[in-house]
Amino acid sequence: MSKYDVIVIGGGAAGMMAASRASKRNKKVLLVDQKDKLGSKILITGKGRCNITNGCDIEDIIKNTVRNSAFLYSSIYTFSNMDIIKYFNDNGLETKEERGKRIFPASDKASHVRNAMLNDIRKSGVDIRYNTRVSALLIENGVISGIKTDEGDIFESASVIVACGGKSYPMTGSDGSGFLLAKNAGHHVTALQAGLTGLNCKEHWTQDAMGITLKNVTLTAVYDNRKLYSDIGEMIFTHFGVSGPLVLTASRYFLDTGFDKASVIIDLKPGLSDEKLYDRIGRDLLENSKKKFENSLHKLLPSNLIDPVISLSGIDREKQCSQITKEERNRLVYTLKNLTLKVQSGRGFDEAIVTVGGVDTKEINPSTMESKLVKGLFFAGEIIDIDALTGGFNLTIAFSTGYLAGDNA
Ligand X SMILES: Cc1cc2nc3c(=O)[nH]c(=O)nc-3n(C[C@H](O)[C@H](O)[C@H](O)COP(=O)(O)OP(=O)(O)OC[C@H]3O[C@@H](n4cnc5c(N)ncnc54)[C@H](O)[C@@H]3O)c2cc1C
Task: Tell which positions 342-361 bind ligand X, by CB under 6 A.
Answer: 353-354
Handedness of CA 263, 268, 271, 276 (dihedral sign): negative
- Where do the H-state alpha helices sit in 177-325? 177-184, 245-257, 274-287, 303-313
CA distance 316 to 119: 64
Instruction: Name the residue nearer to ligand X (CB basis): 88 or 293.
Output: 88
Query: Taking Cα atoms as reference points, which of 396, 393, 389 lies closest to residue 197?
Result: 389
Among 11, 105, 146, 241, binds ligand X (CB under 6 A): 11
| 80 touching ligand X, by CB under 6 A | no
Does 33 sit near ligand X (CB under 6 A)?
Answer: yes
Q: Considering the rule CB under 6 A, would residue 40 count as an interface residue with ligand X?
A: yes
**4 lies in the site for ligand X, by CB under 6 A:** no
Q: Which is nearer to ligand X, 108 or 224 (CB)?
A: 108
**Least Å from the CB of residue 308 to ligand X:** 28
DSSP string of 116-149? HHHHHHHHTT-EEE-S--EEEEEEETTEEEEEEE
**DSSP 8-state secondary structure symbol assigned to residue 190:** P
What is the Rg, in whole angstroms, of the alpha carbon atoms belonging to the chain?
25
* Distance between CA atoms of residues 257 and 63, nearest Å: 19
Cα–Cα dist 352/333, whole Å = 35
Which of the stretches 30-38, 213-221, 238-246, 341-349 binds ligand X when contact is defined by CB under 6 A?
A: 30-38
Residue choice 7, 22, 66, 134 for contact with ligand X (CB under 6 A):
134
- How far is 22 from 121, CA to CA, in rounded Å? 10
Q: Report if residue 394 touches ligand X, rule: CB under 6 A.
A: yes
Q: Which helix (H) or strand (E) holds 237?
A: strand 226-237
The residue range among 12-20, 263-271, 285-293, 311-319 that interacts with ligand X, by the rule CB under 6 A, is 12-20
Cβ atoms of residues 237 and 211 within 8 Å: yes
Closer of 243 and 408 to ligand X (Cβ): 243
Using rule CB under 6 A, residue 386 touches ligand X:
no
Residue 331 identity = R
Tell me which stretch binds ligand X (CB under 6 A): 21-29, 92-100, 235-243, 387-395.
Answer: 387-395
Non-local CB neighbours of 331 within 8 Å, separated by 6+ positions: 313, 314, 315
Q: Does 24 bind ligand X (CB under 6 A)?
A: no
Report the residue number, 11 or 376, with the smaller CB distance to ligand X. 11
Q: Which of 32, 161, 219, 297 binds ligand X (CB under 6 A)?
A: 32
Q: Give the residue with the Cβ less far from ligand X, 170 or 302.
A: 170
Nearest approach, Cβ of residue 264 and ligand X (Å): 21
> In the complex, what is the shortest distance from the CB of residue 117 to ligand X, in angstroms, rounded to a whole number?
10
- What is the nearest approach in angstroms of ligand X to the Cβ of residue 393? 6
Binding test (CB under 6 A) with ligand X, winner from 229, 382, 408, 409: 382
Footprint (CB under 6 A) of ligand X, residues 214-253: none
363 touching ligand X, by CB under 6 A: no
Q: Give the amino acid at 223.
A: Y
Cβ atoms of residues 178 and 162 within 8 Å: yes
- Based on the shown chain and the rule CB under 6 A, indicate whether residue 65 belongs to the binding site for ligand X: no
Q: How far is the CB of 278 from ligand X (least distance, A)?
A: 40
CA torsion sign for 162, 47, 49, 270 is negative
When asked if residue 10 is in the footprint of ligand X (CB under 6 A), the reply is yes
Per-position b or e across 195-217, b if 16+ CB within 10 A of its CB: bbbbbbbebebbeebeebebeeb
Binding stretches for ligand X (CB under 6 A) = 9-15, 32-35, 40-41, 44-46, 50-51, 133-134, 163-165, 168-169, 172-174, 177-178, 353-354, 381-382, 392-395, 398
